[in-house]
């Protein structure tokens, strides 16, 4: 699984990601809580190289605030592909007046759109997208490119 996210995190999330993706961090998450077991499973997945995390940071005044594109691509063993863009919230946002939606495309019904979404993701992954710089997570963390979002910290 390859994931690209923005550069603003809640403090607890950033600390957890840093521990999970740091090659220097070898201590196992131990505990009897369900949360600990889930984190331990995630650590195993990361250690096995099954998850890669990159960070996208706007490098232009044309991009407001932070990277927030939502795109997903699923491919099976027969190369059948499902691609989606967008997000879904359970409720209407009273602050922004926005509704959100998810658009889903399949390679067997809309091959050209799926190919476009795959191309967009690959260009982003390879840092070939205008107005965005993409870094490996640990590079971004070690070079102080990640920010805590005060807006998110207030919610905890």
* pLDDT at position 144 over 90: no
Q: How far is CA 137 from CA 28, 54, 107, 109, in A?
A: 20, 5, 30, 35
Q: Which residue did the predictor score with more confidence, 34 or 50? A: 50
pLDDT value of position 25: 55
Q: What is the mean pLDDT of residues 141-155?
A: 65
Q: Which residue did the predictor score with more confidence, 104 or 60? A: 104
Inter-helix orientation angle 34-47/11-21, to 10°: 40
* pLDDT at position 96 over 60: no
pLDDT value of position 101: 81
* pLDDT at position 154 over 50: no
Which range has the top average pLDDT, 6-10, 75-79, 95-99? 75-79
What six digits make up the tokens of 4? Answer: 């690209």
What mean pLDDT is reported for the chain?
79
Q: What is the mean pLDDT of residues 102-126?
A: 93
* pLDDT at position 114 over 90: yes
* pLDDT at position 149 over 60: no
């Amino acid at each position: 699984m390859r994931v690209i996210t923005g550069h603003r995190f809640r403090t607890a999330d950033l600390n957890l990601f840093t521990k999970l993706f740091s090659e220097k961090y070898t201590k196992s998450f131990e505990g009897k809580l369900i949360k600990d077991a889930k984190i331990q499973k995630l650590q195993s997945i990361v250690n096995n190289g099954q998850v890669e995390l990159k960070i996208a940071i706007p490098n232009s005044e044309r991009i407001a605030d932070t990277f927030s594109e939502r795109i997903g691509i699923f491919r099976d063993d027969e190369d059948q592909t499902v691609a989606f863009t967008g997000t879904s919230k359970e409720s209407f946002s009273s602050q922004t007046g926005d509704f959100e939606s998810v658009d889903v495309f399949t390679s067997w019904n809309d091959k050209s759109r799926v190919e476009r979404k795959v191309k967009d993701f690959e260009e982003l992954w390879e840092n070939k997208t205008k107005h965005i710089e993409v870094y490996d997570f640990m590079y971004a963390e070690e070079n102080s490119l990640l920010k805590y979002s005060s807006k998110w910290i207030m919610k905890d």
